[in-house]
Structure 1
């Protein structure tokens, strides 16, 4: 393992980070609490993703979890604590979670979710916000906030982009917990993988991206896909045309085209 951590990362309580063969692994490590989220967990995730984004030994990031549950959403003690918050404190806390979701969505590197168990409420948000998500068939997914008088507010912004209005309404208004197959059919996740091969399947996919694809091209593609939904048709086309022209002059494009024309295999 290429595990050169900052003192800040080494001091994390609930998150583990390690890099191996150009894959950075961020692990939710609170299995006794079903990897539930609280302010500290969110803070540690933000630190880990920032480190991974700037880690030269990491080309692809995998978000995974210890134990039987991927993430059960907000911690019960944390929910009870929020009952004493006023609007200002609640706004600060909500902003904290929003920043994490936005950070993952706009991260320069591809983020792959490795979901080995149930992902509910905020945990389902984490699974869905990843660029690519693998899950075991036994996993359950759902946004259950409406069942306790809460709102799946922050994740709704990203779900509307990812799966569209009709499917977002189906999930968020019902609060239903659905199977992994249904989550796949809805477009919430990307692949199903058996539990005994999940880690290997994710690793193989991540290594293929790291080996076969230009990191610069993947970064710019992620940036484009995050930006385009906000633009009108003509503005989006002009933006895409500019990025196309810029890419043609990049070192990676020159290398890739030269290798293609010379019938040479290129390894990024």
Structure 2
């Protein structure tokens, strides 16, 4: 892979956007490499938690301008295939069996803000700006909208998507778009500390099932959702991790995950 790096250390898999000269802008190839990296992490037994990072001054500036120009020449069928490609990446991250933490060292704009949106946790430096600027170039934030509505609700989503305004990291935290705002010299350590805590203290199986349930239950009515939750509860009781964790708790021991 040329634009995406994949490394593993201490059960933390790091997927790094490495196209700093283009502000880590997205095109067909970058999206393909991200999909490959996340698929690899899903199957990698040495990985329990994933960090999505980037090199350079920007986290991700959205779609590559040259790429956007190329898309203007495409047929509807070609553009549908291409937009489905990005949809699959966002869905892959949102439903990934492992927790994904975004480490945002710079601006996350349009599709780059979309990447941050679909991650489970996000840490950003104070200087980072966020926004969905699509309406300012006559485009629409179509795919990310589906995930953003789930994450922060209709009112706040409208404020961001219809205005096209950029907001600060602190404002993004207030919107519920990101979780933590840190100083630049603390970013690496804060993300590593949080990832290590998840690795050490939490059952990977339990985090996977909980994440999958959060994605699934929002599509259900109240009774259907409760029935689904009861079924998952019953299944979890028979899992190896649950039996191990409860036994450790009863014996006043800390389970080794």
Corresponding residue number in structure 1 for 2:67: 78
**Separation in structure 1 between the aligned mates of residue 158 and residue 40 of structure 2, nearest angstrom:** 35
User: Aligned-pair distance for 1:126?
Assistant: 0.3
User: Aligned-pair distance for 1:267?
Assistant: 2.0
Corresponding residue number in structure 2 for 1:5: none
Tell whether 2:18 aligns with 1:29.
yes
Tell whether 2:187 aligns with 1:181.
no
User: Aligned-pair distance for 1:192?
Assistant: 1.0
Q: Equivalences for 1:1-268 in 2 at 5 Å?
A: 12-268=1-257
Matched residue SS, 1:196:
helix
- 4+ runs deviating over 2 angstroms: none
User: Aligned-pair distance for 1:250?
Assistant: 1.1
**Separation in structure 1 between the aligned mates of residue 73 and residue 60 of structure 2, nearest angstrom:** 24
**Separation in structure 2 between the aligned mates of residue 182 and residue 131 of structure 1, nearest angstrom:** 18
User: Aligned-pair distance for 1:193?
Assistant: 1.4
Matched residue SS, 2:102:
strand
**Separation in structure 2 between the aligned mates of residue 266 and residue 253 of structure 1, nearest angstrom:** 10
User: Aligned-pair distance for 1:254?
Assistant: 0.8
Corresponding residue number in structure 2 for 1:8: none
**Separation in structure 2 between the aligned mates of residue 62 and residue 211 of structure 1, nearest angstrom:** 16
User: Aligned-pair distance for 1:249?
Assistant: 1.2
**Separation in structure 2 between the aligned mates of residue 180 and residue 239 of structure 1, nearest angstrom:** 36
What is the aligned-residue RMSD (CA, Å)? 0.5
Q: Deviations over 1:90-119 (max 9, x none)?
A: 000000000000000000000000000000
**Separation in structure 1 between the aligned mates of residue 201 and residue 98 of structure 2, nearest angstrom:** 15
Q: How does the TM-score come out when normalised to structure 2? A: 0.99
**Separation in structure 2 between the aligned mates of residue 137 and residue 128 of structure 1, nearest angstrom:** 17
Matched residue SS, 1:107:
coil
User: Aligned-pair distance for 1:197?
Assistant: 1.0
The gaps in structure 1 that reach 5 residues or longer are: 1-11
Matched residue SS, 2:172:
helix
User: Aligned-pair distance for 1:165?
Assistant: 0.4
